Amino acid sequence: MAKSSVLGYPRIGAEREWKKALEAFWAGKLEETEFQSQLKAIRLNHLRKQLLKGIDIIPVNDFSYYDHVLDTAAMFGIVPNRFPYEGGAVPLSVYYGMARGTKEATASEMTKWFNTNYHYIVPELDGAKPTLTENKPLAAYREAKSELGIEGKPVILGPLTFLKLSKGYKASETDAWVDRLLPLYVQILRELADEGVQWVQIDEPILVTSINEDDLRRLNTIYGTIAAAVPQLNVMLQTYFESAESYRDLIALPVQGIGLDFVHGLSGNLEAIKQFGFPSGKVLGAGVIDGRGIWKASLREKLSLLETLTEYVGADRIVVQSSCSLLHVPVSTQYETKLAPELKNALAFADEKLDELVLLAKAFTSGESAISEELTNSENAVQALKQSDERNRTAVKNAVAAISAQQPLRSRPFSERQIAQQEKWQLPLFPTTTIGSFPQSAEVRKARQLWRKGEWNQEKYEGFIREQIDLWIKLQEEIGLDVLVHGEFERTDMVEFFGEKLAGFAFTQNGWVQSYGSRCVKPPIIYGDVAFENAMTVEETKYAQSKTKHPVKGMLTGPITIMNWSFVRDDIPREQIAYQLAYALRQEVEALESAGIGMIQVDEPAVREGLPLKAQDQAEYLAWAVKAFRMTTCTVEETTQIHTHMCYCEFHDMIDSIEEMDADVISIETSRSHGELIHSFELNTYKLGIGLGVYDIHSPRVPEVEEMTGMIDRALQVLDPKLFWINPDCGLKTRGTEETVASLRNMVEATRIARSKHA
């Protein structure tokens, strides 16, 4: 009989109770014992739900107090020496200090988890002496069994992936680090085996990226050692997000199961199985339900795929599972009472995906007739949305086809634009600015809530927003910034705000997903053809500009970021969605320029997040991503200065593409990576305007002037001073007013010092 499983379940809770508990604890409103109690209740509720739904193999240790990569580092006592840690189980104060920073120590770097919108804390191995501080998978297994009678499947981040995601060691030291970590993994697995654990899921998503011969040798060493040390334990070696590289080497490893993604890695994995077969003694974890997308599966198509797999793998050796952890999707559609029926009926969040897995396992065992009604319902839901007016806007399709056939170019090259812009703006050396948003206080959030509830009318709400703009325009002038912003007080989220004003989008009431730590986002759903309807940002930007003689930037989110931070339709290529967004945003850029706004920032922080994991696919993606940005911005006058912003990504391998975007000024995060991005510019010449973020806005600490001065000095060793801007590394929406003002004052003082050095 076929069994069902998932690779992980969302942590945040159906009503974000996990997030609320974390933030209450951080604010000192929860004692640690009560905090631990609340998180245990949330964790057990998630397991109980999977049990009641009928999932056969339930993951444990997929729950986290912040991030699963940070959990792994803490389990091995890998704590940077700037934090007060003397061994043993890592205290929550140190654990959260690594994640968020403290007044005394900067946080560890945070970066994206492969090509998703989830961000993990990067382990720092420099100087670390790993030891097993606590067997977290064992504790999770025991809890599930004793509290709920669940024979859980412990989930562990694999050693090769952990190493590849870490920093602070040389490539030549990789084998030495394998030797340090492997005994600790063996100890964990031995203790699990002694406890009677039947299956362990070891996640090695790094195996879907380009791995070399040395990594394959290490992989054989790792899993050969584990097999010899713990022969009685069943290991499911799990990959996801793409098709596995070096498939023949992977299936030859001495493990009892291989997990493959048959959604995002469908063509590659299926072709590999057809060409090379699948070992008769192993179990195939068939990831047929999309763990990242929100659309209801065509159950008939999924059953057909499973039947195809049985030509190469015995049906009794196939586990029907999600393609990856359900961490990346909202919890349940049951809270969505305002969506159009044709849309809601086509959605499947985490809980609905559990149902789909159970249904597929049932039909795979007993035949289609066992779920005939559900099969018909899934097909009808998919077809109803496909035939809707929202997906058939002919005017949009025709216009996008026309402009995407053209080469999007500015009227003059940057070298000429830069001269014209400097003549117009007369900016000082090292202009200072911010990325866009200012603190959204409790008062701002309350005002928006009162407006949304109808307790405030439009006039009162707009008056309040103007008061906030007045306050922060005055503060920016007092601080001494050169280029100002209006503060974005009318915006909840940088993607949701635009989606609400464009056709083709829908919004959930409770469709939250974790982005990093307790930061949850509610991605819009792009379910139809995207169309511009009315100006979206002109009113507030124009008002702010009327209050100052300094230039005020118009602030937009770019097409690729809106796409990558939304749940997108799956019936047309992502490239076409990007071009539809670019066409709509171009009309907003032109509206801002017509209103007298001469600096316009089109943020693209998520360009890197959409980069395909396969090296051979990346050039094509970058080409159309760059084209979409240029389609958005290419029609403005030469004196209109186009800015963009990117954050929390590694850019060393895409500097050329960033330059091809042809933005007059780009701002990029460097502070949290401790200035490592600057090394990219030591190897590559960058000829456009650039601002490297000089302090980390995700930490509550106020950086000292000397810290920022050091960052500026290093950057100016490799960048042209005439093109260099100074700014924070990201928007300031989540920070408090006092710390924001103090940090910006220090930034301006650091700029003054830099100007005196380079005058």
H helices, E strands: number in the chain: 27, 21
609 is in an annotated binding site: yes
Element (H, E) at 396: helix 394-404
Burial pattern 578-616, b for ≥16 Cβ within 10 A else e, equals bbbbbbbbbbbbebbbeeebbbbbbbbbbbbbbbbbbee
Residue with tokens 């007013």: 737
The answer to the question of whether 134 is labelled as a binding residue is no
Our answer to whether residue 674 is catalytic in this structure is no
Output the CA angle 626-516-261, nearest 5 degrees.
Answer: 70
The verdict on whether residue 173 carries a ligand-binding annotation is no
Q: Is 554 annotated as a binding residue?
A: no
Contact (CB, 8 A) for 607 and 574? no
Cα–Cα distance list, 500 to 241, 329, 507 (Å): 29, 20, 8
> How far, in whole angstroms, is CA 637 from its chain's centroid?
34
E strands present in 159-198 = none
Sign of torsion, CA 89 92 97 99? positive
DSSP state of 654: -
Q: CA 515, CA 601: separation in Å to the nearest integer?
A: 23
Q: Is 17 annotated as a binding residue?
A: yes
How many residues make up the chain in this entry? Answer: 759
HSE of 686, CA atoms in CB hemisphere, 13 A: 38
Dihedral sign for Cα atoms in the order 381, 385, 386, 389: positive
113 alpha carbon, distance to own chain's centre: 7
Q: Calculate the alpha carbon distances from 389 to 395, 527, 528, 563, 748 in Å.
A: 12, 11, 8, 21, 52
Residue 238 CA to residue 204 CA, distance in Å, equals: 6
730 is in an annotated binding site: yes
Q: What are phi and psi of 554, to 5 degrees?
A: -75, 145
Q: Was 667 annotated as part of a binding site?
A: no
103: annotated binding-site residue? Answer: no
Is 117 annotated to bind a ligand? Reply is yes
**Residue 604 gets which letter from DSSP?**
-
488 annotated as ligand-binding: yes
Catalytic residue among 46, 264, 328, 698: 698
Q: Is 586 part of any known ligand binding site? A: no
Dihedral (C-alpha) 220, 224, 226, 230: value to the nearest 10 degrees?
Answer: 160
Residue 176 CA to chain centroid, in angstroms? 31
CB 101 within 8 A of CB 95: no
In DSSP terms, 119 is beta-bridged to 112
Q: 600 forms bridges with which residues in the sheet? A: 554, 642
What is the C-alpha separation between 379 and 300, in angstroms, rounded?
Answer: 8
> Known binder of ligand: residue 603?
yes
Q: Would the annotation count 519 as a binding residue?
A: yes
Strands across the sheet containing 502-506:
502-506, 525-532, 567-568
Any binding-site annotation on 745? no
Query: Is 19 marked within a binding site?
Result: yes
Query: Per the annotation, does 669 bind a ligand?
Result: yes
Q: Is 232 helix (H, G, I), strand (E, B) or coil?
A: coil
Q: Which residue has the tokens 């539809």?
A: 580
Contact 218, 171 (CB under 8 A): no
Question: What single string gives the DSSP state of each residue in 463-486?
Answer: HHHHHHHHHHHHHHHHHT-SSB--
Q: Residues annotated as binding site for Zn(2+)?
A: 645, 647, 669, 730
Q: Residues annotated as binding site?
A: 16-19, 112, 117, 435-437, 488, 519-520, 565, 603, 609, 645, 647, 669, 730
List the catalytic residues. Answer: 698
Q: Residues annotated as binding site for L-homocysteine?
A: 435-437, 488, 603
Q: Residues annotated as binding site for L-methionine?
A: 435-437, 488, 603
